[in-house]
């Protein structure tokens, strides 16, 4: 079964413990938005870096591996890999968590442009952006299940 949230089963467990609104995505994202700031950061930090170590050593979840491959991140040139590596490092240094984007809605060039642009954000804006992107990832994973 596809994990909707990377290494974070607590989101689905909490949603299951609440009355349903009839919209699974809405229910799941309500749990994320109601979570403590520490829990939200843990959720963000549970995601792998794009084209990072987990992709190289094959420890990505099945869903993440497929999603990264859909954007061509499994077929980077050495120059592209260096660009991703440098931007991942700068991003993690600034924010303390990996860059998150719904790769199924963009491509390599779009991801690189978003990484560069979002490095200008402050932490609050970037946490909100990461959560919004997690919401898009989960929305698409739910669609795949239906």
- Residues designated as active site: 47
User: CB count, 10 Å around CB of 36?
Assistant: 8
Q: At 121, phi and psi to the nearest 5?
A: -70, 160
Separation of alpha carbons 143 and 79, rounded Å: 34
DSSP three-state, residue 135: helix
109: buried, middle or exposed (CB in 10 Å: 19+, 13-18, 0-12)?
Answer: exposed
5: buried, middle or exposed (CB in 10 Å: 19+, 13-18, 0-12)?
Answer: buried
Tally of CA atoms within 13 A in the half-sphere of 70 that contains its CB:
14
């Amino acid at each position: 079964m596809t994990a909707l949230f990377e290494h974070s089963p607590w989101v689905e467990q909490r949603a299951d413990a609440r009355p349903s609104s009839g919209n699974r995505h809405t229910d799941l994202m309500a749990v994320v938005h109601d979570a403590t700031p520490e829990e939200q950061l843990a959720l963000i930090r549970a995601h792998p870096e794009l084209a990072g170590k987990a992709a190289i050593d094959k420890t990505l979840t099945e869903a993440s591996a497929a999603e990264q491959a859909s954007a061509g991140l499994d077929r980077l040139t050495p120059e592209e890999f260096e660009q991703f590596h440098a931007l991942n490092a700068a991003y993690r240094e600034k924010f303390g968590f990996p860059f998150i984007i719904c790769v199924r809605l963009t491509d390599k060039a779009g991801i690189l442009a978003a990484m560069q642009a979002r490095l200008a954000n402050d932490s609050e804006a970037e946490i909100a952006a990461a959560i919004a992107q997690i919401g898009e990832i989960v929305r698409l994973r739910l669609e795949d299940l239906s």
